[in-house]
Amino acid sequence: MVRIFVIDNGGQWTHREWRTLRDLEVQTKIVPNTTIFEDLQKEKIQGLVLSGGAPRIGLDGSLGNCAEYLEKADFPILGICAGHQFMARFFGGEVKPSKIPEFGQVEMTLIKDDDALFEGVLKKSIVWESHNDEVTVLPKDFVRIAESENCKIQAMQHKKKQFYGLQFHPEVEHTEYGEHIFKNFIQLCEE
């Protein structure tokens, strides 16, 4: 069984991420973002999910020890919402309040169609959103994978590492390919 932990940044849906992983037979646990990296290593984890956060935390919050994880991890990391925004800032991108924030149902378009995380996902699909801020400048080591009408960076990936950032929420029931995306992420962690 693969071991993937969920780092809790205080999001409303942290528990949903845990549940989706648990339902897919992953050994998983929600841990606070103050956990030190060494303790995660001791747990022999193979992947990490950085949860969404309390309001505006992605904009300028430090998100506990998330920086340390991004600096040291040699396993895949999936940043969601505030986790994604923090990932972008950490690698030199920019996060700003959205001109048009998105809440609820949004149509997402894949720009890059050979991405492992989105394998089997249709070019256009329904995702659910809940954000006031967004990544406005992509970090230079990243590629853009998906966009929506009002948010150009819905998904991004590090060019060399298995680090992914998603602005939308794959963990909620109403995101069409949510579970599918998690399955793909689990596969990346198993490899």
Partner 1 sequence: MFNAEKFIEKTIPNLQKDIQRKALIAFSGGVDSTVCAALVNKAIGDRLIAVHVNTGYMRKNEPEQVKQMMEDLSLNYRFVDASKEYYAALKGVEDPEKKRKIIGEKFIRIFEKVAREEKVDYLVQGTIAPDWIESGGGLRDTIKSHHNVGGLPKDMKLKLAEPLRDLYKDEVRKVARVLHLKVSERQPFPGPGLAIRIIGEPTPERTELVREACDIVEKEIERASEQGLMERPWQYFAVLIPIKTVGVHGDKRAYGNTIAIRAVQSVDAMTCHYSTIPHEVLDTISTKITNTMKEKVNRIVYDVTNKPPGTVEWE
Question: What residue ranges bind partner 1 (CB under 8 A)?
Answer: 8-16, 19, 22-23, 33, 53-55, 57, 103-105, 128-130, 172-174
Distance CA 181, CA 170 (A): 7
Instruction: Tell me whether residue 43 is one of the annotated catalytic residues.
Output: no
Please report how close the Cβ of residue 75 comes to partner 1 at its closest, in angstroms.
24
Q: Is 2 helix (H, G, I), strand (E, B) or coil?
A: coil
Q: How many CA atoms lie within 13 A of 74 on its CB side?
A: 3
Catalytic residue, chosen from 84, 131, 158, 169, is 169
Give catalytic status of residue 189 as yes or no. Answer: no
158 labelled catalytic: no
Least distance in angstroms from the C-beta of 34 to partner 1: 10
Q: Which is nearer to partner 1, 89 or 158 (CB)?
A: 89
CB of 29 to partner 1, least distance (A): 12
CB atoms within 10 A of CB 161: 16
Which member of 17, 129, 134, 171 is catalytic?
171
Active-site annotation holder among 81, 84, 129, 151: 81
In angstroms, the CA 101 to CA 82 distance is 14
> Considering the complex, what minimum distance in angstroms separates the CB of residue 26 from partner 1?
12
Nearest to 79 by CA among 179, 162, 175: 162
Residue whose CB is less far from partner 1, 94 or 107:
107
CA separation (Å) from 51 to 6, 90, 99?
Answer: 7, 15, 23
Q: What secondary structure does DSSP assign to 134-156, as a single string? A: EEEE--TTEEEEEEETTEEEEEE
Return the active site residues.
81, 169, 171
